[in-house]
Amino acid sequence: MSKNIMPRRALLALSIALAYPLASHAAEDASTTTNTTELQKVEVTGTRSKLDAARNGLSPDTGSSITRIGKDDIQNLPQGENTPLNQVILQTPGVVQDSYGQLHVRGDHGNVQYRINGVVIPESISGFGQALETRFADRLSILTGALPAQYGYRTAAIVDITTKGEDEQQGNGSIGVTFGDRGSLETNIELNGTKGDFSYYLTGSFEHNKLGIENPVDSRDALHDKTNQGKTFGYLSYLLNDDSRITAMFGTTNNRFQIPNVPGQTPDFVTASAPPKDSSLLDANQRETNRFGVLSYQGSAGAFVDYQISLFHRTTDVHYRPDTTGDLQYLGVAADILRRNIADGVQADMSWRLNSQHTVRAGLFGQHEKVSTANNSLVFPADADGNATSTVPVSIQDDSRLSGDLWGAYLQDEWKVSPALTVNYGLRYDQAKTVVNESQLSPRLGLVYKITPNLDLHAGYARYFTPPPTEKIDTTSVQKFLGTTNALPSDANTAVKSERSDYYDAGLAWAATDKLTLGIDGYYRDVRHLQDEGQFGNALIYSAFNYAKGRIYGLDLSANYKDKALSGYLNLGFTHARATQIETGQFNFDDDELAYIQQNWVHLDHEQRLSASAGASYRFANGIALSGSALYGSGLRDDFANTGHLPSYTTVNADLSKTIDFGGAMGKVETRLSIINLFDRSYQLRDGSGIGVGAPQWGQRRTAYVSLDKSF
């Protein structure tokens, strides 16, 4: 179980270069044999607690690496619950930072699955904003490595969020406000309570600032970069009896972004209807929305069988609106693009404790998706070399529709061979039908062996089947744009294939003392039809493609220290990720780059050889908490065919927190001062070159925030 647990509401923090250790990291958690055994040790009583334990017992982690982050750990991060979810995950081993809030885990581009209370949440169309908030999480479990048969489709990491609600009984809620540099203002509210057999948790937030997207130039403030972001989440639960309940979850996200401008550019094209437009005055925008709902029934059949059945729905879309004149003059195309995805599905999981040695788990998953793209483009007629032959644009409508079906089933057994050895073995079968119809039978094997009372070994093998993200399959028509300034460089193959890989993982966890835990974890992945994503158009929307073969391997190191007042952690990740031969989406690449990749193994654009996260937290006797976090990156890939890499960088965040009693009606208020990029380092995440890389992006400069949070 998590060792690094701090008191509940740590208040206001200004950090100096040290950060709070997130509750158990991979090295510590490798010693856990099963979630079921662990949860049965939790000292809670009552029907809700029993059902919570039963639900979590449906999900094993034997043989995989796991990091657990509790609500107290989140409170002690710089920015506390205002910390974006991706920034929380970045403080765990093997995770690499990218622009637009993207994360890369163990050499994968994305391939991260999010679950809420054990239910898979269909992925939204990727853009700039976070679809999920940290605020509604009671705790997070992040699994990587060779996963049990229960987990499929997105397997680089499983982020399982347990929501507030069932255990949130203190008070009726809270209201908070955060303000800071660059016009930052965020308000949030939380409501929770229990009335008999009914309990609820509701939260909502609204955020405005002038740094919605990473700055494309090296300046403190970006031009034309305002954002408005609104989010809601709700969790409702009703107990039917001692052994069953119905729960409902819903979430909405509505994010609006201005596309930041690069001053001083010279137009490449001329429009007959307008003079050249100043590049600092362009007005392109993007809107991203995401809505999901989940209805679940959880129950038990006798003392040894637990199950949960869930129905889910999700609608997501991204709408890019160009600056018509500006995009035509600088890009040769002004495309108004709306991409939408609707998904409906069912998930069922069952756990059957046969005896003290065997726990059998089985489940089904099915999902139907409908994807539509509306692309209204203005382009200039052009010659064979791409030179415009007219100053009057023509309109091309390139709409498309696509549907996809995905289903899978698994069966696995958790076998406690001896008090020191636990083995989890199983099979899953998956079938994906979108632009192609593919399937795979995938064996899984994992084990945990206690070598000594303080030294544990975990190891595993998993065969993975990763279907293409339906919402990222590019259906652009090559023929429609021939003879225009938006002509694609090569022929099209839009039949993006499912990725198939063999994953090997092994690690050790050593409790060196009762306060210090050390861990090491190595992995190797041999991949066929390796999936990657890139931003190939002027709209900041990603499209999927395949390499024929890929090889990814690496090593994660971790150290965690926990004392009464002082805690600290350090994670190091070494990654090698290469691939060869583009086999789908070739129309997104220039001929010379395609030819080079066909003949050579190239670095993946998201490969970062060395990544590190570190931090510490200290709580003084007077209630003041001082904490901080630091990230290091050796630089993502750039240049022709990813042959170079960007310079390394280090950033530090700092936080000072305290609860202040103002007396009277105001009472106690949690106050927090946070500084992002304390030393105001200028660093570049992307320079606009590399495979599938769009505009340059620079990291956030020093930004200070003040937060006030009042419970009621």
Give domain status of residue 701, yes or no.
no
State pLDDT tens for residues 331-378: 999 999 999 999 999 999 999 999 999 999 999 999 999 999 999 999
pLDDT category at 703 given cuts 50, 70, 90 is very high
Chain position carrying tokens 């998590």: 2
> Mean pLDDT lowest for which of 15-29, 85-99, 171-185, 629-643?
15-29
pLDDT attached to residue 15? 30
Above 70 in pLDDT, residue 523?
yes
Task: Find out whether 682 and 218 touch, Cβ atoms under 8 Å.
Answer: yes
Residue 517 belongs to domain spanning: 26-162+245-655+678-695
Give domain status of residue 227, yes or no.
no
Average pLDDT rounded to a whole number, residues 207-227: 94
pLDDT attached to residue 51? 61
pLDDT attached to residue 232? 95
pLDDT category at 422 given cuts 50, 70, 90 is very high
pLDDT attached to residue 17? 30
- Kindly state the tokens that stand for 294: 């989940």
Give domain status of residue 197, yes or no.
no
Measure Cα distances from 519 to 96, 507, 543 in Å.
19, 7, 36
Average pLDDT rounded to a whole number, residues 194-220: 93
Beta strands in 537-681 (DSSP E): 543-562, 566-582, 602-603, 610-619, 625-633, 637-638, 644-645, 649-661, 668-676
Give domain status of residue 1, yes or no.
no
> Mean pLDDT lowest for which of 9-23, 301-315, 472-486, 531-545?
9-23
User: Mean pLDDT across the chain, nearest whole number?
Assistant: 86
Average pLDDT rounded to a whole number, residues 307-331: 94
User: Higher model confidence: residue 472 or residue 626?
Assistant: 626
DSSP category for residue 546:
E
Above 90 in pLDDT, residue 613?
yes
State pLDDT tens for residues 22-70: 333 333 333 333 333 232 222 333 566 666 666 555 666 677 888 888 8
Average pLDDT rounded to a whole number, residues 234-263: 94
Give domain status of residue 11, yes or no.
no
Average pLDDT rounded to a whole number, residues 123-128: 63
Q: Measure CA 226 to chain center.
A: 23
Beta strands in 219-332 (DSSP E): 227-241, 244-258, 285-300, 305-321
Report how far apart the first and last C-alpha atoms of the chain are (Å, whole number).
31
How many Cβ atoms are within 10 Å of 339's Cβ, its own excluded?
24
DSSP category for residue 51:
H
- Give bridge partners of residue 29 from the DSSP assignment: none
To which H or E segment does residue 466 belong? strand 455-466
pLDDT attached to residue 66? 86
Phi, psi of 471, rounded to the nearest 5 degrees: -70, -10
Above 80 in pLDDT, residue 221?
yes
pLDDT category at 299 given cuts 50, 70, 90 is very high
Average pLDDT rounded to a whole number, residues 401-418: 95
Average pLDDT rounded to a whole number, residues 456-481: 86
pLDDT attached to residue 478? 74
Above 90 in pLDDT, residue 320?
yes
Give domain status of residue 140, yes or no.
yes
Q: Look at the chain and report how many structural domains it folds into.
A: 1
pLDDT attached to residue 37? 28
pLDDT attached to residue 43? 31
Give the chain's largest Cα–Cα span. Answer: 80
Give domain status of residue 170, yes or no.
no
CATH code at position 548: 2.40.170
Give domain status of residue 213, yes or no.
no
Q: Distance between CA 117 and CA 265 in Å, rounded?
A: 49
> Mean pLDDT lowest for which of 41-50, 56-65, 140-149, 448-457?
41-50
Chain position carrying tokens 């590019």: 474
pLDDT attached to residue 125? 66
